[in-house]
Amino acid sequence: MTITPDIIKKHGINPDEYKKIVSLISKEPNLLELGIFSAMWNEHCSYKSSKKYLKTLPTKNKKVIQGPGENAGVVDIEDDDALIFKIESHNHPSFIEPYQGAATGVGGILRDIFTMGARPIATLNSIHFGSHKHIKTKNLLNGVVSGIGDYGNCMGIPTVGGEVKFNESYNENILVNAMAVGVVKKNKIFYSKAKGKNQPVIYVGSKTGRDGIHGASMASAEFDENSEEKKPTIQVGDPFTEKLLLEACLELMQDDSIISIQDMGAAGLTSSSVEMASKGNLGIEIYLDKIPCREEKMTPYEMMLSESQERMLLVLKSGKEENAKKIFNKWDLDFSIIGKTTNTKNLVLNFHSEEVANLPLSSLSVNAPVYDRKWKKSVVPKKSVSKKDFKSLNIIDCLKKILMSPNNSEKSWVWEQYDHTVMGDTIQKPGGDSAVVRIHGKKKGVAITVDSSTHYCLADPTNGAIQVVCEAWRNLISVGSSPIAITNCLNFGNPEKDKIMGQFVETINGISEACTYLDFPVVSGNVSFYNETKNKAISPTPTIGGVGLIRDLNLMTTKSIKEIGSSLFIIGKTSGHLYQSEFFREVMQIHDGPSPKTNLFNEKNNGLAVQKLILKKLVNSVHDISSGGILIALSEMCISGKIGAKIKIPHNKINIHEYLFSEDQSRYIIEIKEENKKKVSNILKENSIYFENIGNTQKDNLDIGADLSIKIFELNKLNSFWFKNYFDKN
Amino acid sequence: MKSSVIVFPGSNCDRDVAVALKKFKIKNQMVWHEETNLPKSDLVVLPGGFSYGDYLRTGCIASKSRIINDVIQHAKKGGLVLGICNGFQILIETGLLPGVLLRNKKLRFLAKNVFLKVITINSKFCLNFNKKNIIQLPIAHNEGNYFANNKILNRLEDKNLISFKYCDEQGQISKDANPNGSSNNIAGILNDQKNILGMMPHPERLIDPLLSGEDGAMLFESLVKSN
C-alpha cells in the first residue's frame, strides 16, 4: 500500500510532520509505521503544544517522591507510606458514548495507580455538562454517572467525592475528569523504565480487540457533525477483568519479579512498549503473533493501535516467567511472552516470521515534534455598565434561587449511585469540603478534593487558575489536613488557535504562581485540547485534584454545625465582589465582569491560621466560603448539622447583598464553642488575620435580623430539590 | 469461633468483612472459590462484591462454583452462613434462602445509610440487638429489591424469619423508607433453622465510631456471644 497524502491526513499528521518522519527514519514509513507515528505524535500522547509550558510548573519539594513523567505522581505521607495519585480526562469518548467513555475513564486512571504498585483507595471525578436545558444533557449526565458508578462499584474502590457542573460552554463537549488515589510502601513503588537487554516482555490482562483504534487521535481533533461516526473508536470497559488484573498485579508485586510495568492506556501497545523501552534507553522487539486477540484475523496495525482496556505490559526478570504465569492463570487472565528488550534502541515488530515495522525509538519519543504555538493575551472583562440595582431584592428569594440552581444544588442524586463506603475507610463522604479516607489500619488519613471554576477561568484565565488552586488548598485546610500536592487536568479548546493557546499559557502561569507560593507542587496530570465543536470551544477548565495529610483523624473537621449556642466567625475580609458570582449569574443574569482576585498572602495566612485552630481543637466546624458566598456556605453548614444560626451583618461599607453573596476569596466560616472565643480571637489577632464574629448557632432557624428567617429543614428541601426533580419527574 | 470468608473472583468486600471478624476476635481464613474442601468453620461468610462480574444473574455463577457444595453441606448441617449483599444474592441463587433479588425500583445503584428495624433477635446473628432495635447501616447495591410470592412472604412473616426491614428514623416501616422497592420492606431474611442469614446492608462497614456509627458491631458481637 502506498502512503498517499490523503492517508497521511487521515492519520492526523500534517505535511511538515510527515517530512520530519521521513527524515528521522530515513525511509518512507509503511502503513503500520505511519499508524504508530500517528499514535505517538498526536497531541494527546505527545503533549506537543503544551510541553513547553508544562515544564515551567513547580513539581518538586521534599515530599515529592515522583513528579510528572510516570504513570502517576507520588508523595510521601510519612511512616514509609506513599500516596500515588493522578487525574485524567476522558472527555471526547464520553460525549460520544457517555456510559463507556466515563467507565473506561475510571478504569484507565485506576490502572495508572496500581501499575505503580499501589492499591487504589479512592476515586473522585469532576464532570461538566452543558446547560441543563440542552437536549443532550440529561442523557449524558445519566450515562456518565452510571458509567463511573458501575466501574468503581464493581472494582470495590470507593468513589468519595467530586463535582458536577453545568455551563453552556460544554453543550457539545462535556468533560469527564477522573482522579484516583492509591497507597503504597515507599520502597515498593514500581516504575515504567525498562532495564537490561534480553528480558522478557509480557502481555497480561484482557485480549486485544478492535475497539478504541485511534482513540488517542480522536481526542486530538475537534468534533464536527460527523462525530457520531467515531463510536467505533470508543473503548469498552470490563471492570470485572480490571478487578482481577488489579489483584493479579498486586500479587505479583509481592516479590521482585517485575523490572518495569506500564498499563496500556491511550495508544495501547504502541505507547506502552515505546515508553518502557525509550525510558530505559533500550530497544524492544515484539512478535505480534503472540498477542492474545479477541477477534479473528487482526492485523498488526489493529493490534498496535487498539485501545482495548484492562491490559498491561511488563518486563520481567528473565527466569521469573513461570511463577508470574501461575499468578495470572489463577486470576483467569491472559499471560503471553510477546517479545524481549534489546539494545538496538529500535522498536521492531514481527508478524508471521516477517519484520513488519522497524523504527528508531527516539523518533517516537524525544524527537516527536514540540510546538511553540502562537498565543494571544486574554482580554479581562471590565466591570459591566449594565449593573442593575439589586438593593431592593428580597434576600430570601435570592437565597432560594441560588440554592435551587443546578450548580449549587446538593448532589446526592449523583453520589448515591457511587459506592462510597466500600473498603471501610471512608471517614468523610461526598458532600463535604474534601473527602477523607483513612490509611488502612492507621490513625492517619488523606484528604482529597477536586475543583474547577469555569466562569472565573473564562473571565480571566490567570486569575481563575490561581483561584482554583487556592480553592483546592482551602478545601484541604477545611477538613483539618496539611495540603501536600496537586494533580491537574487541563481542558481546553483547539491550541492551534491563538486565543485558546493564550488561555492555556495564562492558566499555566496562574497554576505556577499559586502552587509556588503555597508550596503545593504539581506531581501529575494531563492535558486535553480540542474540546471544541464547530468552532466553539469550551471555557478554559483547569481541574485541580489536591491531596493533604491528616496525621490524627480524631482532629478532622467537617462543615456540619455541631451544637447550639456556639459562635460563628468569618475568617478573611469580605469586600463585596459580585462579578462572576452565583448571585450575579443566577439571580441578576449578569455574566460579565472580572472574577474575584485571590491574594496569595492572605490565602496562606488565613489558611494556616485555620489549620492552627483545628490542630489546637478550638473549632467545632469549618467550611470554606466559595461559590455563592457567605450565605450559601452558612446554609450548607446548617443543613448538614441540622442546626440553625442567627447572624448580624457587621457594620461595613458594603450593602447586605454584597456581604452575603460576594465571592471574595480566602475566607472560611468557623464555629467556635463559646468558651474558646477569647482564645481563638487572640490567636487570630496574633497572626494578623481579619475576622468578624457574625453571630451564634441556634435551634432550627437561620435568621438574619429582619431580612431573613427560614427553617433549616426548608433550606434542605430547597437545596435537594433540583436533581431529584430533573431526573425522577418528567 | 472460627470463620471462613469465601473469595470469588470479583468479591470486593472480602477484606472488609475479614477486618470486622478479626476485630471481634473471630479466627478467620480466606477460602478461594476453587477449593473443594471448606476448612472447619463455625461460620461461613459470603462477602459482597460482583462475583464473576455478576454476568448472567447476580450471584448465579457463584452458586455453581466449586466451593459452594461444601458451603451448602455446612449450612445443611446447621453451620452458620452469613451472606452480605452479593453474598445474599448467592444464597438466593443456591436455593438456601427463598425469593429473588430484583433490580432496585429506580433502576439505579444506590449507596447510602439506611435505617433498619430489627424484626427478630431470635437468631445467633442478632441476639445483641436487644439493646437497640432501630439501627443504621449502609447499603450499596443495584439488585437488592427483594421479591417473593405471597405464600413465601406470609411464611417469612409467620415464622418470624425476617431479621431486618427498612424503616425510617422513628422505626416506621413505610413505603418512603423503602430504598429499593423490596416486598414488605425486607432487608434481610433467615432460613427456617435460623442458621443462615442473607442481608443487603453491610454490617462490616459500620463497626467504628470514626465511620459515623457502630451499629454493625452488634451483629458480630452476637455471633461471638452465641458461640
Q: What element of type H or E holds B167?
A: strand B162-167
3-state helix, strand, coil in chain B (%, to 5): 30, 30, 40
Confidence tier at A212 by pLDDT (50, 70, 90)? confident
User: What integer best gives the mean pLDDT of chain B?
Assistant: 96
pLDDT in tens, A246-256: 999 999 999 99
Q: What is the mean pLDDT of residues A179-184?
A: 98
Q: Distance (Å) from the C-alpha of residue A94 to the closest C-alpha of chain B?
A: 19
Q: Determine whether the interchain pair A421/B15 forms a contact, defined as Cβ–Cβ distance below 8 Å.
A: no
User: What integer best gives the mean pLDDT of chain A?
Assistant: 95
**Neighbouring residues of A321: CB distance < 8 A, sequence distance ≥ 6:** A200, A202, A337
Cell numbers for A114: 496500581
How far from the centroid of its chain's Cα atoms is residue A557's Cα?
24
Active-site choice (A11, A90, A214, A577): A90
Cell numbers for B103: 433490580
Q: Which of A467, A493, A475, A468 is nearest to A668 (CA)?
A: A475
Q: What is the mean pLDDT of residues B169-178?
A: 96
User: Exposed, middle or buried, B90 (CB in 10 Å: 0-12/13-18/19+)?
Assistant: buried
Distance CA A534, CA A477 (A): 41
Q: Determine whether the interchain pair B53/A240 forms a contact, defined as Cβ–Cβ distance below 8 Å.
A: yes
Would you say the C-alpha torsion A178, A184, A187, A192 has a positive or negative sign?
negative
Active-site choice (A44, A128, A214, A455): A44
Q: What is the mean pLDDT of residues A669-692?
A: 97
Q: Which residue of B has its CA nearest to A419?
A: B111
Q: Distance (Å) from the C-alpha of residue B154 to the closest C-alpha of chain A?
A: 32
Are the CB atoms for A336 and A291 separated by under 8 Å?
yes
By three-state DSSP, how is residue A371 classified?
A: coil
Distance CA B164, CA B186 (A): 6
| pLDDT higher than threshold 80 for residue B185 | yes
Q: Determine whether the interchain pair A240/B50 forms a contact, defined as Cβ–Cβ distance below 8 Å.
A: yes
Distance CA B14, CA B37 (A): 19
DSSP state of B64: G
Interface A:B, Cβ pairs < 8 A:
82
Of A238, A417, A438, the CB nearest to B108: A417
By the CB < 8 Å criterion, does A469 face chain B?
A: no
Distance CA A313, CA A182 (A): 20
Confidence tier at A326 by pLDDT (50, 70, 90)? very high
- Is the ipTM reported for this complex over the cut 0.95? yes
Which residues of chain A make contact with B23, given a CB cutoff of 8 A?
none
Distance CA A611, CA A236 (A): 44
Radius of gyration of chain B (CA): 16
Distance CA A549, CA A77 (A): 7
- Quote the Cα angle for B60-B64-B69, to 5°: 130
* Element counts in chain B: helices (H) and strands (E): 5, 11
Q: What Cα–Cα distance (Å) separates residue B119 from each residue in B4, B114, B163, B185?
A: 27, 15, 5, 11
By three-state DSSP, how is residue A175 classified?
A: strand
Distance CA A514, CA A343 (A): 43
Interface of B with A (CB under 8 A): 9-10, 12-13, 15-16, 19-20, 48-50, 52-55, 106, 108-112, 138, 140, 142, 202, 204-205, 207-208, 210-211
Which residues of chain A make contact with B112, given a CB cutoff of 8 A?
412, 416
How far from the centroid of its chain's Cα atoms is residue A727's Cα?
26
pLDDT reported for residue B131: 86
pLDDT in tens, A53-97: 999 999 999 999 999 999 999 999 999 999 999 999 999 999 999
| pLDDT higher than threshold 90 for residue A113 | yes
| pLDDT higher than threshold 80 for residue A219 | no
Cell numbers for A726: 430533573
Q: Which of A549, A553, A548, A561 is nearest to A635 (CA)?
A: A561
E-assigned strands of A2-118?
Answer: 64-66, 73-76, 81-89
Are the CB atoms for A470 and A598 separated by under 8 Å?
yes
pLDDT in tens, A284-322: 999 999 999 999 999 999 999 999 999 999 999 999 999
Q: What number of other Cβ atoms are within 10 A of residue A138's Cβ?
A: 15
**Neighbouring residues of A691: CB distance < 8 A, sequence distance ≥ 6:** A569, A570, A571, A572, A681, A684
Radius of gyration of chain A (CA): 26
Confidence tier at A228 by pLDDT (50, 70, 90)? low
Confidence tier at A129 by pLDDT (50, 70, 90)? very high
Are the CB atoms for A19 and A43 separated by under 8 Å?
no
Q: Determine whether the interchain pair B138/A149 forms a contact, defined as Cβ–Cβ distance below 8 Å.
A: no
Give bridge partners of residue B166 from the DSSP assignment.
B116
Confidence tier at B166 by pLDDT (50, 70, 90)? very high
Cell numbers for A687: 497572626
Cell numbers for A240: 470485572
| pLDDT higher than threshold 60 for residue B82 | yes
Confidence tier at A606 by pLDDT (50, 70, 90)? very high
Confidence tier at A210 by pLDDT (50, 70, 90)? confident
Domain B2-226 is classified in which CATH homologous superfamily?
A: Class I glutamine amidotransferase (GATase) domain (3.40.50.880)
- Quote the Cα angle for A407-A408-A411, to 5°: 85
Size of chain A, expressed as the number of residues it contains:
730
> Pairing between strand A644-647 and A701-704?
parallel
Amino acid at A12: G
By the CB < 8 Å criterion, does A713 face chain B?
A: no
- Domain layout of chain B by residue ranges: 2-226
Q: Which of A551, A561, A569, A541 is nearest to A678 (CA)?
A: A569
DSSP state of A584: I
pLDDT reported for residue A389: 83
A44 annotated active-site: yes
How far from the centroid of its chain's Cα atoms is residue A473's Cα?
15
Of B10, B12, B111, the CB nearest to A420: B111
Which residues of chain B make contact with A424, given a CB cutoff of 8 A?
16, 19-20, 204-205, 207-208, 211
Are the CB atoms for A242 and A111 separated by under 8 Å?
yes
DSSP characters over B109-136? -EEEEEEEEE----STTTGGGGG-SEEE
Are the CB atoms for A17 and A40 separated by under 8 Å?
no
Confidence tier at A382 by pLDDT (50, 70, 90)? confident
| 0.80 exceeded by pTM | yes
Q: Determine whether the interchain pair B53/A238 forms a contact, defined as Cβ–Cβ distance below 8 Å.
A: yes
B143 annotated active-site: no
Q: Determine whether the interchain pair B211/A331 forms a contact, defined as Cβ–Cβ distance below 8 Å.
A: no
By three-state DSSP, how is residue A660 classified?
A: helix
pLDDT reported for residue A388: 66
H-only helix segments in chain B? 14-23, 68-76, 86-94, 150-158, 217-226
